[in-house]
Structure 1
Amino acid sequence: MERKEFLKRGFGSLLGIAAVAPLIGACSSSTIDPVTTTGTGTGTSTGTTNGSSSSDCAVSPSETAGPFPTKVPANFVMKDIRSDRTGVAFTINITVKNSNSSCAALSGALVDIWHCDKDGYYSEYGGSGMQSVNYTTVDFLRGRQTSDANGLVSFTSIFPGWYSGRAPHIHVHVYNSAGKSLLVTQIAFPYDISNTVYTTAQSYGYTKGAQDTKNESDNVFSDSIATELATVTGSLSAGYVLTFAVVVSA
């Protein structure tokens, strides 16, 4: 079954069944006008302002964790999640805010993230189905951090690639300090930034070309991009920095 069709048929509802995870292969509608980037790969694109004030404080959309969630998140308490993966340098800054406290920063939250490598593959999965390459025995691009007094967690990574049927994205799972799940969501990237990486960063190993699915036609983001789009700044040579606020009800 093709990856895009598989996702459209609502695989997210099956994620609670642990037995299916090892059998699976690899990993809204507002149009955002992109900021033009230069030929050197330098640019800035501004994402959602959700969570920026008490009057703009909706809980972030809940999204599917799969089909490639981290199997044992507690094993990945680390800031640098690159492992052996190479690509354009990417810093991921996520601030967790509490909708029940007028979007005040939420400290002590456990934040798990995971995303694919530059070729579109996830660790912990593969060998069948949607991901032909078998990465079931290795771990990369998965991490956990605890939010500080400002609600911030930060990860050192590489700019994710893409795979057919999905726009580029990062998965995020937020728990409270006691380990209670608060939200599973996903983060989208501004198209102009990702397109720059995919079409001009061949020397960094990005050889697939432009993504085949944009945010507005993505199965996950088509109805929620207004609150799931990150701000991304930087360049190919200096690396990119992603900034995003996740709003939870804690």
Structure 2
Amino acid sequence: MERKDFFKTLGLAGLALAGLKFLDACNTDDGTTATATQGTGATGACVVAPSETEGPFPTHTPSSLVTTDITSDRTGIPLAITIAVKNTNDSCNALANTIVDIWHCDKDGNYSEYGGGGMQSTNYTNVHFLRGRQTTNTNGEVNFTSIFPGWYNGRATHIHVHIYNRTGTSLLITQIAFPEGSNSAVVQVNASSANGYTKGMSGYTYNASDNVFSDDDAGAEVGTVTGTIANGFTLQHTINASA
């Protein structure tokens, strides 16, 4: 089975929407600052963040990947990630000592720990890039150093997140979406062939057509992204969990 068959919303309608939204990013330069868009996941009501699928590429043994810098040997535009976790059972105050796992694809749309088959032809089964685990500090925050994710057929740019309590009990599996628009980081990065992002936006699946994010009308899963091609980007996002 090819990876595109895994995602249920592929089809002519999604491709048509992607075509309508396609933006020419050829005129962006390395000094252009991305437009920041913030979802209600950071400032909205004190409700649990949407629960989402782990997808077909979850980390096999996340406890072995305790690290802040998850880049490994992957090249691309730097991305600094800050995730704040809050407890809906405590008026959305910071949730300290909580385990946060993240994982995402590389600039070419491939995941580590998988491959060699129909869903991902490139074989990365024996490497562990762009996966990591951290424990939240007293402010409920974790920080990771990574690269800006690429994209693959049927999915918008995204990061997977799995949150556990301090004893390892799963609290929430969710995903982070990226802001889109004519000056967004997503458009700028995918126009940056000099940094190895060669796909552009042709055939890209936007959040509105993505099988995970299409029902996120309030933008609760959309992070805040700022920065430039030259200096790298920063992603900040707050996730509310029930602990």
Q: Normalization by structure 2: what TM-score?
A: 0.87
2:82 match: 93
- For the Cα contact (< 8 Å) 2:107–2:197, is it kept in 1? yes
Identity %: 58
1:239 match: 232
Please list the CA deviations of residues 203-249 of structure 1 after superposition, one character each: whole Å capped at 9, or x if unmatched. Answer: 11111111610000000000025110000000011100000001100
Which consecutive residues of structure 2, in runs of 5 or more, have no partner in the other structure? 10-24
1:147 match: 136
Give me the CA root mean square deviation.
1.7
2:38 partner letter: G
1:217 partner letter: S
Q: Indicate which of 161, 170, 174 corresponds to 1:181.
A: 170
Please list the CA deviations of residues 107-132 of structure 1 after superposition, one character each: whole Å capped at 9, or x if unmatched. Answer: 00000000000000000000001100
2:7 match: 7
Q: Does 1:160 align with 2:160?
A: no
Which consecutive residues of structure 1, in runs of 5 or more, have no partner in the other structure? 10-35
- For the Cα contact (< 8 Å) 2:70–2:146, is it kept in 1? yes
- For the Cα contact (< 8 Å) 2:40–2:221, is it kept in 1? no
Displacement after TM superposition at 1:94 (Å):
0.2
Query: Any residues of structure 2 matched to 1:88-127 within 5 Å, and which?
Result: 88-127=77-116
1:19 match: none
2:223 partner letter: A
Displacement after TM superposition at 1:7 (Å):
2.1
Task: Give the Cα–Cα distance (whole angstroms) in 2 for the partners of residues 95 and 134 of structure 1.
Answer: 33
Which segments of structure 1 move beyond 2 Å, counting only runs of 4 or more? 1-5, 36-41, 49-53
- For the Cα contact (< 8 Å) 2:42–2:220, is it kept in 1? no
Query: Any residues of structure 2 matched to 1:40-59 within 5 Å, and which?
Result: 40-52=31-43, 56-59=45-48
Query: Any residues of structure 2 matched to 1:46-85 within 5 Å, and which?
Result: 46-52=37-43, 56-85=45-74
2:207 match: 215
Please list the CA deviations of residues 7-52 of structure 1 after superposition, one character each: whole Å capped at 9, or x if unmatched. Answer: 218xxxxxxxxxxxxxxxxxxxxxxxxxx99643322312213353
Query: Helix, strand or coil for the counterpart of 1:5?
Result: helix
Task: Give the Cα–Cα distance (whole angstroms) in 1 for the partners of residues 168 and 73 of structure 2.
Answer: 29
2:227 partner letter: G
Q: Which moved more, 1:85-94 or 1:189-198?
A: 189-198
Task: Give the Cα–Cα distance (whole angstroms) in 1 for the partners of residues 115 and 49 of structure 2.
Answer: 30
